[in-house]
């Protein structure tokens, strides 16, 4: 019972590099989302998806890109990494039922941009 799996767990990037953070869930959840967690800022929503082929922006989408080609996978792409993107990134999934939408989180990806 894997739940939500994120890879990699740790990553160091140089400014300007691009990379993809992977997220996969095996619970057949329709809804998936990406958050970033920064000291003093809490968790903030980056992008989300209500199903395969459908994505939308959250509170802090700039510098990130997403796509949802399958129900299981929701990768987050950093187009040109900047030091301001140093953060811990969490992927979450939940079942789309009004009110009963318990969210499950991955273990996080700790990204440092130098």
Partner 1 sequence: KQEVTQIPAALSVPEGENLVLNCSFTDSAIYNLQWFRQDPGKGLTSLLLIQSSQREQTSGRLNASLDKSSGRSTLYIAASQPGDSATYLCAAPDDDNYGQNFVFGPGTRLSVLP
For binding to partner 1 (CB under 8 A), which residues are involved? 31, 33, 35, 40, 42-45, 48, 50, 58, 90, 92, 94, 96-108
**Minimum distance between the CB of residue 80 and partner 1, rounded to whole angstroms?**
26
Q: Which is nearer to partner 1, 18 or 101 (CB)?
A: 101
Q: Residue 48's closest CA among 39, 62, 59?
A: 59
Is the CB of residue 21 less than 8 Å from the CB of residue 78? yes
Under DSSP, the state recorded for 73 is B
Residue 98 Cβ vs partner 1, minimum distance, rounded to whole Å: 5
For the CB of residue 3, give the shortest distance to partner 1 in the complex, in Å. Answer: 10
**Residue 17 or 107 having the CB closest to partner 1:** 107
Q: Encoding tokens for residue 51?
A: 């199903």
Strands 109-113, 10-13: pairing is: parallel
């Amino acid at each position: 019972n894997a739940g939500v799996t994120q890879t990699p767990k740790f990553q160091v990037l140089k400014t300007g590099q691009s990379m993809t953070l992977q997220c996969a869930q095996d619970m057949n959840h329709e809804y998936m989302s990406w958050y970033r967690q920064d000291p003093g800022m809490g968790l903030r929503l980056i992008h989300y998806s209500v199903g395969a082929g459908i994505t939308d922006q959250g509170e802090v989408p700039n510098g990130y890109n997403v796509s949802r080609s399958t129900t299981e996978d929701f990768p987050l792409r950093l187009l040109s990494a900047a030091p301001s993107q140093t953060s811990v990134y969490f992927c979450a999934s939940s079942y789309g039922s009004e009110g009963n939408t318990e969210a499950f989180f991955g273990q996080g990806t700790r990204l440092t941009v130098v």
